[in-house]
Amino acid sequence: MLASFQYLNSCIQNQSYGILDFRAKKYSKIRSYCVRCKSSLDPTLDEEKDGKRKFKILIAGGGIGGLVLALAAKHRGFEVEVFEKDLSLVRGEGQHRGPIQLMSSALAVLEAIDENVAKQIMAAGCVTGNRTNGFVDGVSGEWFTKFDLSSPAVSRGLPITQVICRMELQDILVNAVGLDIVRNNSEVVDFIEEPSKVTVILEDGRQYHGDVLVGADGIWSNVRTKLFGRREAKYSNYTCYSGITKLIPPYIDSVGYRVFLGLNQYFAALDIGNGNMQWFAFHKQPPMSTDTPGGKKKLLEEKFGKWCDEVIALIQETPESMILQREIYDRDMICSWGIGRVALLGDAAHPLQPNLGQGGCMAIEDCYQLIDELDQVPNTGSDAQISDAICLALRQYAKKRIRRVGIVHAATRMASKMLAMYQPCIQLKTGPLAHHSSLQITYPAFRMGQAFLQYLLPKFMIWMIAGHGLSLKSQRDREREAKQT
């Protein structure tokens, strides 16, 4: 475990905090089933302006990553088609899964892509980064360590971390990308790559042609399987139960979210706005293929029954119908995110455990880097030269992203291992002091771990917020530079 800490710390220290080139500039909800875009204004605008044809990007997956990529591609003048198995379910997890965390770096990317969309998202979300956040002991409710998400963002002119309902975020993105074509009920099950194009094959046999295919179809990605073969995802040893309740704790104005720690289990509670709280209960157990006997709520009341009052109250005040259960999986990091004209993005490339709330943020950052690389591909030259340039751009995208994502991936796995060992006090079950049930002796390693986290977490959070390696320019900035040249 110490080696893991040392590796993570060295990775952060060995990279400069690359501050986002962010211009601080200071709505509607329609669920669409089609998005097709050629240009941010007129479909032929870019072709008429420079006499060149922007190539066509096919995107497998209409989740957050796929839609943000489509929006970014639209503003760079690319033709786009998005194929989604079931848009209404947001990857089949439904609206009760609740919010997604958007850290400052991800919000800055969205602002650079489309300021109006970013304003809608921030207006619809609930800011949590401007309050105290951190870890507490699950039984006593006392703070273990806190971290600051506000000061690093404000000092860099970045938006402050917030949460937003996944369904609402998807609505905003779909409406912004356009209402012509995101092809719903259109799962990409296969593709064929040729020297000058790539063809996607849908479940019903339909085929569509393009210049690039991006697999943004999640952890169970068909595109990834086609590229690298079928490999089993890795079970984290944790099952997650989640719920939403109207119970609001008295400290809501000063605390954004707290993570309650315990041995082989932990519990997160966060304000999601509009008078609602969401909680996540992670319990270490084998994967369960059947429903929990007696119901999920009863099981949680047993597992967390001796924890602090807030945890118990949140579980008790949540209806059984509002409690969801899902096993937590991820995959090992891979050194290649694509082959030829095909690339992966987000969970399809690097699925993360949800311990740090970074899955969606990393996917959004991927989108900007990917579209920035593709935008540098020349539109002139022979077919072979253009094809080589496209392939190189996709490899450059992965090369520039893999180190940052790899650090976050390692941090999420390390967090799971730490949580499995959390035990602040020595249990005296035998010996002359065993009869003193109220006697608590703190583990020396507990205080050492606490001190180390208090040292490491601020650095890690600053590194996360700064969006290391991303140099963002908004559409307006690019247009201004184009006029000057």
Q: Of residues 483 and 200, which shows the higher confidence score?
A: 200
- Identify the domain containing residue 453 by its residue range: 2-233+331-422+440-475
Single-letter residue type at 81: E
Q: In sequence order, what E strands does 309-383 have?
A: 324-330, 338-339, 342-344
For residue 339, what pLDDT is reported?
Answer: 96
pLDDT above 80: residue 49:
no
Which helix (H) or strand (E) segment holds residue 372: the answer is helix 359-374
For position 24, what pLDDT does the model report?
38
CATH number of the domain where residue 160 is located: 3.50.50.60
Lowest-confidence segment of 192-206, 329-343, 426-440, 471-485 by average pLDDT? 426-440
What integer pLDDT is reported at residue 48 of this predicted model?
40
- CA atoms of 262 and 32, how far apart (whole Å): 43
How many domains are there within the chain? 1
Q: Average the pLDDT over each of 71-75, 227-231, 447-451 and give the range with the smallest value.
A: 447-451
Identify whether 311 is part of a domain: no
d(CA 468, CA 18): 4
Is residue 281 situated within a structural domain? no
In a domain, 13, yes or no: yes
- Compute the residue count for the chain: 485
Residues 440-453: what's their mean pLDDT?
60
For 69-123, write each residue's pLDDT tens digit.
999 999 999 999 999 998 776 544 444 456 899 999 999 999 999 999 999 999 9
**Lookup: tokens for 382:** 């022979």
- Taking a C-beta distance cutoff of 8 angstroms, is the pair 235, 284 a contact? no
Q: Mean pLDDT, to the nearest integer, of 197-202?
A: 97
Classify residue 55: in a domain, yes or no.
Answer: yes
Model confidence band, residue 482 (pLDDT cutoffs 50, 70, 90): low
Residue 309 domain-assigned (yes or no)? no
Of 14-18, 340-344, 419-423, give the range with the top mean pLDDT: 340-344
Mean pLDDT, range 132-155, rounded to an integer: 90
- Band (pLDDT 50/70/90 cuts) for residue 53 is low
CA distances from 449 to 238, 314, 353, 421, 423 (A): 22, 28, 21, 11, 11
Q: Which of the four pLDDT bands, split at 50, 70 and 90, describes residue 287?
A: confident
User: What radius of gyration, in Å, describes the C-alpha atoms of the chain?
Assistant: 23
Per mean pLDDT, which range of 31-45, 161-175, 183-197 is the poorest? Answer: 31-45
How does pLDDT run across 367-393, given as a tens digit for each residue?
A: 999 999 999 999 888 889 999 999 999
Residue 204 reports pLDDT greater than 50 = yes
For 452-458, which contacts have Cβ atoms below 8 Å and span 24 or more sequence positions?
452/5, 453/135, 453/144, 453/145, 454/145, 456/5, 456/8, 456/9, 456/12, 457/145, 457/147, 458/147, 458/148
Q: How many CB atoms lie within 10 A of CB 252?
A: 12
Half-sphere exposure of 93 (CA within 13 A, CB side): 21
Judge whether residue 485 has pLDDT over 90. Answer: no
Q: Which of the residue ranges 111-125, 216-230, 261-275 would you say has the lowest mean pLDDT?
A: 261-275
pLDDT at 134 over 50: yes
Q: Are 188 and 200 within 8 A, CB to CB?
A: yes
Least confident range of 47-56, 174-183, 230-239, 301-310: 47-56
Nearest partner of 187 among 156, 154, 215, 159, judged by Cα: 215
**What value does the mean pLDDT take over residues 229-246?**
92
Q: Is the dihedral of CA 435, 437, 440, 444 positive or negative?
A: positive
299 inside domain:
no
- For the chain, give percent helix, strand, coil, nearest 5: 40, 25, 40
- Asked whether residue 310 is assigned to any structural domain, the reply reads no
Q: Is the pLDDT score of 15 beyond 60?
A: no
Rounded distance, CA 414 to CA 355, Å?
10
Residue-level pLDDT at 484: 67
Q: Averaged over 152-171, what is the pLDDT?
A: 91
The pTM is what?
Answer: 0.85
Q: How confident is the model at residue 447 (pLDDT cuts 50, 70, 90)?
A: low
- Give me the mean pLDDT over the 157-183 stretch: 89
- DSSP letter assigned to residue 87: G
* Structural domain includes residue 138: yes
**Strand bridging mode 79-83 / 56-60:** parallel
Average pLDDT, the chain: 82
pLDDT value for 294: 80
The gap between the terminal CA atoms of the chain, to the nearest Å, is 53
Q: What distances in angstroms separate CA 283 from CA 132, 277, 303, 369, one per listed residue?
A: 25, 20, 8, 36
Residue 236: partners with Cβ closer than 8 Å, 6 or more residues away: 327, 328, 329, 330, 353, 416
| Reported confidence tier of residue 18, pLDDT bands at 50, 70, 90 | very low
